Structure 1
Amino acid sequence: MASDPQSAANQRIVEDLVSRLRRRQVVGSRATALETLLVLRQVVSKARFSNIDQLVNVIRSVGRRLVEAQPKEHSVGNTVRKVLHHIREEYHTASEPPAIETSFSIAKFVLQGQPRRQTTIPRSETRVPLKENDPDDPDSFARVLKPVLMEAIQDVFDELETVYDNISKNAKDHIHSDEIILTLGMSTTVQSFLKAAAHYRNYTVIVAETAPSYGGREMAKSLSSAGISTFLVPDSSIYALMSRVNKVILGAHAILANGGMFATSGSLLAATAARSYSTPVVVCAGQFKLTPLWNLYHEYGALDFGDPSAVLGFEEGDLVDKVDVVNPYYDYVQPELLDVFITNYGDHPPSSIYRLLKETYDDEDNEL
């Protein structure tokens, strides 16, 4: 167990992030994932434990606290699950003799022939025996394991830092010259993907403005400044324009266990219109958005709503009293409306998401 000063320090770090999550001072999947990872790194570095179960319990308790603070930011829980998976993996590697890897991984299979450059320092082959619950030296277990765990957490951090580049590196294979691409809202992942493709292809992008947030305006301005032919259109024009569109490219807030996703409000409209014209729908999202959860709310959206006054202002006094105004942040898009997910570890159809979840997280962490 942690000593009092260390426990208090960890508590302050966790509560600071809890407060910012509740106040929505940290928003967005990648931003919340990075903040969560920074907190977990400090917690692990300061924690005292004499066996692996104690460490896992510490991480899980911190994870529960953060998830309860903002359950709608799914990447918080995903990051905790990823770190727990790496902790167990490193523990088993350190406590067992080296063996030839024979497990099959979809991500590795997709990347065959495209070996990724090793960006981390090779770990030492020298093994120090792990001794749990040592009565003579209770800190020996943590002292031996912590350096390896910090390297594993750094690997996750590096993955988050380079997620946009890794998704965008194959953009030219998905976008062809003279195509018309439709997207909506402001997604940094999609923005990076489209800008990367523009180095090799000349194409046109139609951006739906995504009222009432109007994030599409920022996206259109960014793409236009990069020299991409861009048109900003109202959301009501999506269906009318779909017959001219070659491909729909969307971002995701969270990728669910069944291959569906939560995405910016309006994504369901675009995906449904695309299906009626047999237009492929491509989703660009980092693998850290994989969530071992299901849509438990209703068939068309997530239980996350914005300020209704953005849709119907209080100046419409007579009307406000007579209607209920709903301003959802996200749509739930069913897997049958999607064609492929482009992640930082390759391209995957919605039907393979369950397998990726099995590889990325441990089953016991589905519920933190």
Structure 2
Amino acid sequence: MAHGAPIDTSARIRSQLTAFVKQEAAAQGFDVCRITLPQSSPQIEAGLDGFLSAGHHGTMEWMAETRDRRARPDALWSDVRSVIMLGMNYGPDADPRLLQNQPEKGAISVYARNRDYHDVIKGRLKEIATRFAARSEADVKVFVDTAPVMEKPLAAQAGLGWQGKHTNLVSREFGSWLFLGSIFTTAALAVDIAETDHCGSCRACLDACPTNAFPAPYKIDARRCISYLTIEHKGEIDPELRPLIGNRIYGCDDCLAACPWNKFASLAQEAKLSAREDLKEPDIEFLLTLDDPTFRRFFSGSPIKRIGRDRFVRNVLIAAGNSGQAALIEPCRLLLEDGSPVVRAMAVWALSQLLAGAEFNDLRARAKHETDPGVVREWARGA
């Protein structure tokens, strides 16, 4: 929307506009709406710098490239005077960790079991922003995890919750299950009070992490995080971490689900965020058969579609290797001839876990035509 000069508002008008935007947020299905200033604290900037300098962002180079805009909202847009932070509940109907007891099933993160939340949230934000701009004559910009905006610190600053020891937002009303979005505006609005930290001595989220991705409370090393590994990471997944991934094929909710504050959480009310039945506990055997067109059709409208078929099947093969299910041997064997080296490499690894040593060695002896370095390396590892 239009870029213009800051809008001055009196205390009365500021109060009216604040009430208006919160009413609009509720009408669009947001469960919470709070407002903060665009300035971040020195602690937030120091935390970001420490995360980047330690290399904890892994291959997400864009985080370092956008450091300045990420650290300070007013560096992203110099005219912004208020940041409206909104949250929409996506609480699941059951503890997602229960699926770990079904190794033949694939575990998909709760947030990705239906429509891409970016599309759902952004559409609602645009509706609110359009009406707010017409009422206030202020300029607005909307963001949903697609720009260098530190949404979690801003949400804590605005009072939606606090950043827990797992670095995610925790709400006293919704636990760890809130999608976040923001509206930046040139209007001056009434600012809400920041939430205080209520984690206390609890470390349930830290202890729940399968890969020990938290070097310390309030710090995360993405390079060990299953969500990063299965979604953002494009290359080879560390062989030492593969067994720890279990059947998690897209993301991981363990640290979120472990939070005691979830006892106050409620079921998501937005239908587009409620889980599709076929994504609650999909069969690994079926997912191993997906070619690219079928993958695109099956995950149409889903955030999973964005990582592409090859990376997704790579994840499924790791789950297959961890499953101990003999029924998955043949589907994995068929993928040794797949056109993707990434898929072939993980098919080798899965078979190294599922087959007895002699069977695997016999299979390897018949695979001498393979030339891709990554696949050859997996054959050697499985010896």
Q: Same fold (TM over 0.5)?
A: no
* TM-score, structure 1 as length reference: 0.25
* TM-score, structure 2 as length reference: 0.24
